[in-house]
Structure 1
Amino acid sequence: MSTAIPDLDEETRLAAASHATWQTVVWNDPVNLMSYVSHVFRTYFGYSREDADRLMLTVHNDGRAIVAEGPRETMEAHVRAMHEYGLWATVQRADA
């Protein structure tokens, strides 16, 4: 009985996907105050007031901001936390 061996291209794609960088994206919404969004960024991510305010303004002005990058599992945990704070957030691949 022979064992099927995946071709190199499939193996390379699987390895690359597991090491890909992911991002947490926070989206603008009509509900939360800008001061609250900045507070969440400072409290949860540990951003300085200046960095939190810059990211909050990016969310407000551009409709979204990337607030973290890293492994997918970590970014998914960040998204769940943002949802618990009442913010709209998603995960995307960094190269998307």
Structure 2
Amino acid sequence: MSPLATPDIEEVTNLAAAPLEPWEVVVWNDPVNLMSYVVRVFRTYFGYSLERATQLMRAVHHEGQAIVATGPRETMEVHAQAMHDYGLWATVRKAAR
């Protein structure tokens, strides 16, 4: 075989992409931020209606946490960082199935 010739190689490749796993941004209750401020952050950043933002804020306040967004991991990490920038406590976790 000449140095430039390539051997016949039979490759089996699976090009199917793995399904995107959903992730969640969880905002946690804290002793620092006012409820009105949390509502304003949810409305300003996520564009939620007053009613939805208030519902999420109440979940944070009464249950200690609320899932405020669901989607691809990278996007959820951006959202969690934005919540940190607003002074809220937030984490990213894999969504329960």
TM-score, normalised on structure 1? 0.82
Measured after TM superposition, the shift of residue 95 of structure 1 is: 1.6
Q: Does 1:15 align with 2:18?
A: yes
Aligned to 1:54: 55
Alignment deviations for residues 30-56 of structure 1 (CA, whole Å, 9 cap, x no partner): 000000000000000000000000000
Q: Distance in 2 between matches of 1:39 and 1:61?
A: 18
Q: Distance in 1 between matches of 2:81 and 2:25?
A: 10
RMSD: 2.3
Q: Distance in 1 between matches of 2:62 and 2:76?
A: 23
Structure exhibiting the larger radius of gyration computed from Cα positions: 2
TM-score, normalised on structure 2? 0.81
Aligned to 2:68: 67
Identical pairs, percent: 66
Q: Distance in 2 between matches of 1:20 and 1:94?
A: 8
Query: Aligned runs of 1:1-96 on 2, under 5 Å?
Result: 15-16=18-19, 19-95=20-96
Q: Distance in 1 between matches of 2:32 and 2:89?
A: 10
